[in-house]
Amino acid sequence: MVGMTVEPMDRVMASKISSWKYSEPYDFYNMDDDAGMDELLNGTFFKILENEMLIGYCCFGKSAIVPIGLQFGAYPENGTVDVGLGMRPDLTGHGRGYAFVSSILEFALSEYNFSQFRLTVAQFNKRAIALYKKLGFKPIMVFPMGNVEFLTMERRIS
């Protein structure tokens, strides 16, 4: 994405992101405004700008996991960095995901020392899973949270 930058999250952008509303079935990713703000400002989130316009966010480490997955052994500490991300709802589904996620991974490579990336995605999000496979991620395991199943995917750094 031309002119894309990844920068530490700030209150103004966190407020915008916490109010984003995705349509079904992706409304699963909608945030509660107050809890969303607190999480977005915890120091592990970054805003993603394209030509100075907010287009998404990413996070790393514990903020990028689904906590219940810990009890299923979904997150072994094996030189892996967990990556979480979200794109502005009106930009999803328009073929921009490959460049968006690639830029996040490039940023992570410049900031963290690890041997592989790991993502966690809702099993129903076939669009994201297909994208992650194109980016070289391999399915690792599935675990439940209520009536939703999550898939972890990993990609080794070569």
How many helices (H) and strands (E) would you count in the chain?
Answer: 4, 7
Q: Where are the domains of the chain?
A: 4-156
CB 106 within 8 A of CB 132: no
What topology is assigned to 4-156 in CATH? Aminopeptidase (3.40.630)
Between the alpha carbon of residue 53 and those of residues 5, 61, 98, the distances in Å are: 10, 25, 18
pTM exceeds 0.85 for this model: yes
Q: Each residue of 21-39: pLDDT tens digit?
A: 999 988 888 887 677 788 9
Structure tokens belonging to residue 128:
């994201």
Answer whether 140's CB lies under 8 Å from 154's CB. yes
Question: 89-134, pLDDT tens digit by residue?
Answer: 999 989 999 999 999 999 999 988 888 999 999 999 999 999 999 9
**Sequence-distant (≥ 6) Cβ neighbours of residue 100 within 8 angstroms:** 1, 4, 48, 55, 56, 85, 87
